[in-house]
Chain A
Amino acid sequence: MSNKEKESIQLLQGTLDLIVLRTLATMGPQHAYQIATRLQQISDRLLNLNQGTLYPALVRLEQYGWIKGNWGRTESNREAKYYEITKAGQKALGEETQTWRRMSALVERLLLEES
């Protein structure tokens, strides 16, 4: 096992939704491959994530009505399903971000006190 893989972290339950929403909010409509690539970029390959892992999150968010998928064409003229964040998604992103901040701050505080 290489060092890189040893360091890779598991995604926290529920955080994938937030990440996908945030990616779509900042980058505009994206297809699954783009989202996966973006995820790997920003995580500096720390996230050991199969690209297929995204799909459950995408269908979940779509069912919530937070994102919306439409078929389109890539620059290389391949077909792909582009996902776009909806109004409800924007709102949810705000709330989820708040929740995440509170949560991480709490854990952070806890860790500081412990040390």
Chain B
Amino acid sequence: MERLRRFFLKLYLLFANSKVEAELAREIGAHLALLEDEYVRQGMTPEEARRAAKLAYGGVEQAKQRHRDERTFQGPSQIPQDIRYTFRQLRKSPGFTVTAVLMLALGIGATTAVFSIVEGVLLRPLPFPDPDRLVTLGDVLEGSHCASCAHSSVTAPDIRNYMRDAQSFSHLGGYRGRLFELSGPGDPAAVNGTRMSGEVFAALGVQPLLGRTFTQQEDEEGQQVAVLSYGMWRSRFHGDANVLGGQDPSLSQALHRDRRDAARFRVSAQPWACEPERVLASAQPPAGGIYGGQCGVVELSHGGALKARHHRRAGAERCGASGPGYDARLSGLHAQSSYSRGGDAAA
């Protein structure tokens, strides 16, 4: 009970300090006066009496400080004093100061960098409306237990088979990273692009900032259409809204490294977060068989939570062309993008 009472009083006295301080000074003054009186009565001169009184009392400042320590919490009121003292000490030893500051800077910098990476790669959701329902699909040889199976792919013909046969997905499309050459006015530049089928945009559920994306039909008809990343639109085309339409001669010349494919194409720009120099381009539908290699599939699963087993079955059953002996594996797009984002440097 007393302790509680004292605690609250101490708390209160943090704010009523000046009043108590004045009272204390008054009390000490009275005490010294009484002591002086006593010494004068013993026959000292007033001057001597004052000295003797101070001596008997002990240090006035020390007594005051002990009183402060006792009556309230010393932490808060001492903070400014501590800060001043710290700066004085730091000024006195610059070598130590520089070392300490450097270590702090390095430590803070390193942790910030690590957090930024973790935040960007692991924590921040993908910039799509339904990131949890986006998965990649890959064919894995049955019975193989390889570590990289999570990042396996599907061949181009199989993508078409999946698109035709699999029904568990709202949208399903193929994509493949590819290096393009972009020329026209200014220096030609190699850009990291992605060859993708029209359904991918529907699967991701994204809308371009300007213009439109291409459709599956356009893809199959072999229309020359490209979607620019936001970063590229800003840097290479200076954020020009008139970049759309394909009439712009600067864009009509080049698309592929392979000049045979060079053709007019329409451009639309969209914010393609995290991937600064990426042109999403579609030129030709995948030609049967030859396309091979790294071909993933992006799809949006139908019903709420992702049930990999169910989808795998669905894919495998409906997908005769994938052939017996292959198993369709699903993994979240988020994991996939964390894996690949590192290699996505601008060309």
CB distance from B242 to the nearest CB of A (A): 78
> What string of 1s and 0s marks CB contacts (under 8 Å) between B2-16 and chain A?
110110011000000
CA distance A90 to B245 in the complex (A): 96
B35-62 contact mask (Cβ, 8 Å, vs A): 1 or 0: 1010000000000000000001111101
> Are B2 and A55 closer than 8 Å at their CB atoms?
no
What's the least CB distance linking B63 to chain A, in Å? Answer: 3
* Chain B: interface size category: 20 to 34
Give A81 to B2 CA distance when docked, in angstroms: 22
Provide the bound-state CA to CA distance between A64 and B3, in Å: 7
Distance in Å: Cβ of A25 to nearest Cβ of chain B = 17
Decide yes or no whether B310 CB sits under 8 A from chain A.
no
Interface string of A28-56 (1 = CB under 8 A from B): 00011100000000000000001111011
Contact, CB under 8 Å: B6 / A64: yes
How many A-B pairs have beta carbons closer than 8 Å: the answer is 78
Q: Which parts of A5-43 form the interface with B (CB within 8 Å)?
A: 31-33
Interface of A is mostly: helix
What CA separation (Å) do A19 and B180 show in the bound complex? Answer: 93
Complex-state Cα separation, A45 to B63, whole angstroms: 20
A residues near B10, Cβ cutoff 8 Å: 63
Contact in complex: A74, B34 (CB < 8 Å): yes
| Nearest opposing residue in chain A for B67, CB measure | A55
- Interface residue? B212 (CB, 8 A): no
Q: B31 touches which one: A33, A65, A66 (CB < 8 A)? A: A33
A sample of 14 cross-chain residue pairs with beta-carbon separation below 8 angstroms, ordered by A number, consists of A31-B30, A32-B31, A51-B58, A52-B28, A52-B58, A53-B66, A55-B67, A56-B67, A56-B70, A59-B67, A59-B70, A65-B5, A76-B34, A80-B30
Partner-A contacts on B (CB < 8 A): 2-3, 5-6, 9-10, 24, 26-28, 30-31, 33-35, 37, 56-60, 62-63, 66-67, 69-71
